Amino acid sequence: MIDFRYHLVSIVAIFLALALGIVLGSTTLSDSVSDTLRQQANQAAKTAQQARTQQRQLQEQVNGQEQFAAVLSPQIVAGRLKGQSVVMVEAPGAGDDSIEQISELAKNAGAAVTGRVTIQKKLLDDDQQMTLEELATQLKTDDVEFRGDANAYDKAGAVLAAALVTKDPDRSGREDAASGAVLNGFKEAGYITATGKPGQHATLAVVVGPATPYAYEGGGDDNEALISLAAALDAAGRGTVVGGPSTSAQEGGLIAALRDSEAGERVSTVDVVDTPSGQVVTILALQNEMGGKTGQYGTGAGASGYLPSPAPTAGKNG
């Protein structure tokens, strides 16, 4: 007869066997999971290394293309703006390097650079609109007309544009008393600073926008003010191009706002102006502007292509 002690030993043996099976099974499972995770980690590391290699190769390719553009750009633009003159307009927050490089490239293209006008943040302040409108009305010359619905920025843009650019070959390269009075008035009010002789009435204008979109409250109004100025420069002269880096074509940026406005039908834009190739595109866009062609160039939203296609013919300047 099997006694109680035998049953107890049997039950203990069964539970020990179960425990041993669980331990052995979990060990085997753990090794399998570890192997799988190890393989996945190795594959992820390999993929990351491949991505870094591709990124480095792409960056080297971009650097090579930009070096190509920088070295050959004087030859590419030679003669395209012969007999013309350009005034540079700098918005608050614009990159100085781009302006200097475009100025030099415009000279390589055969144009004279009259000077640079730097818009001060004060001009864009909302609490300055009444004072700005009063100043524009006071300095307005007989050849400037205000639209019936013109606001303070429209009026200031029209007055400044008339002092900076012209379509009349006889006025080009000459600074008269009226343009001098306008520029001095805006300087004394703290709205602009100027270098060179921007009052000599250029035939073309380049406006360089801020590197960072105006994100603070009222940023939309600031873009509107600069768009009014760009549109006025385009109307008063033979053409205007607004340039900026890629961020300017993003939401809130000057170029994005301009492309969405009515002025985008008349004013050309370049959203890669901080690159050597983009600076060449700016010169090509100015050349097209003289021929009555407006375009939106670069890589951002609203761009029709990186550059005018077909490119304007070298040696012809509208």
In this structure, is residue 61 part of a structural domain?
yes
pLDDT for the residue numbered 170: 87
| Within a domain: 199 | yes
Is 317 within a domain? no
Mean pLDDT over 282-308 rounds to 96
Model's pTM, two decimal places? 0.80
More confident call, 79 vs 316: 79
In this prediction, residues 31-35 reach a mean pLDDT of 68
161 and 257, same domain (yes or no):
yes
Residues 1 and 123 in one domain: no
Q: Work out the pLDDT band at 1, boundaries 50, 70, 90.
A: very low
Per-residue model confidence as pLDDT tens digits over 217-247: 445 689 999 999 999 999 999 999 999 999 9
Radius of gyration (Cα) for the chain, nearest Å? 32
Which residue has tokens 């550059």?
A: 307
Same-domain status, 21 and 103 = no
Same domain as 112, residue 48: no
pLDDT score for 5: 56
Residue 25 has pLDDT above 70, yes or no: no
Average pLDDT over residues 54-77: 69
**What pLDDT, on a 0 to 100 scale, did the predictor assign at position 137?**
96
pLDDT greater than 60 at residue 145: yes
Q: Looking at the domain assignment, is residue 308 inside a domain?
A: no
Parent domain of 166 = 82-297
Ranges 16-20, 60-64, 157-161, 190-194: which has the least confidence? 16-20
Q: Are residues 185 and 209 in the same domain?
A: yes
Q: Are residues 98 and 32 in the same domain?
A: no
Residues 283, 223 share a domain? yes
Interval 70-119: pLDDT, tens:
677 788 899 999 999 999 999 999 977 899 999 999 999 999 999 999 99
pLDDT, the chain, mean: 86
Count CA atoms within 13 Å of residue 264 on its CB side.
19
Strand 112-119 relative to strand 192-196: parallel, antiparallel, unpaired? antiparallel
Do 149 and 167 sit in the same domain of this protein? yes
The answer to the question of residue 95 being in a domain is: yes
pLDDT at 95: 78
Residue 87 and residue 56 in one domain: no
SS3 state of residue 197 = coil
The domain total for the chain is 2
On whether both 40 and 103 belong to a single domain, the answer is: no
99-106: long-range contacts, CB 8 A cutoff, minimum separation 24:
99/206, 99/208, 101/276, 101/279, 102/206, 102/208, 102/243, 102/273, 102/279, 102/282, 102/283, 105/73, 105/74, 105/77, 105/279, 105/280, 105/282, 105/283, 106/81, 106/206, 106/283, 106/286
Q: Do 73 and 168 belong together in one domain?
A: no
Tell me the pLDDT band of 66, cut-offs 50, 70 and 90: low
Whether 272 and 236 share a structural domain: yes
Q: Alpha helices, DSSP H only, in the chain? A: 4-77, 96-108, 121-124, 129-139, 152-164, 177-188, 219-236, 254-259, 276-290
Q: What would the mean pLDDT of 141-145 be, rounded to a whole number?
A: 90
